[in-house]
Chain A
């Protein structure tokens, strides 16, 4: 079993839909949870990070962490065609830990 599991998709939604992307993990030591967006033929770029449990909101994006269930989510409201990309979750045990464990990524397509 992988430390971090992520549904690879692809996930196709109509423009304006609310998108939910998820990862599950097995290592209870993880404290930092990141979401990266990767456009085709580009490197990943950090969207959001969250420390420990709870929610964090940034514009149309909300990151949610449920440590009791070892489950994290990224919600995208009012999705746009420009949101079409691969979304990767990543986790680490502490800020001093340099090794991130990445999910495989979920490919999202928002249809105009």
Chain B
């Protein structure tokens, strides 16, 4: 079946503009994650959605970052007033939670460049 998809694959924007990044998880997966991957850094957790529970937003670096997940499926990560330090690859992962170990399946990422 189809894996996790993300769009756009690349986004170049000017400092101060808002951007929206989209994630389509694997059908039936109840959990969805957003991560940020910067050069020389590991994957940095941003936000976690699980079913209808309140999301864990503890990894969002500032109030310019927000995310929503509509209908328990598609998610959008929004960055307002982008800064150059926001340049990174933004990865989405989905997961079916149940059982002993539940693999996170990653999308290809959106490469964001803020000029």
Contact = CB atoms under 8 A, between A and B. Distances in A.
A56 interface: no
Interface of A: 4, 6, 8, 32, 41-46, 49, 51, 88, 90, 95, 98-105
Contact of A104 (B41, B91, B106, B107): B41
Nearest to A39: B108
B92 to A, nearest CB: 8
Contact of B100 (A4, A95, A102, A105): A95
B7 to A, nearest CB: 13
A41 B108 contact: yes
Chain B contact-residue range equals 20 to 34
Interface in B48-64: 48, 50, 56
B101 A32 contact: yes
B109 interface: yes
Contacts of A105: 42
Contacts of A51: 100-101
B107 to A, nearest CB: 5
Contacts of A32: 101
A4 B108 contact: no
Contacts of A43: 4, 91, 93, 106-109
B101 A49 contact: yes
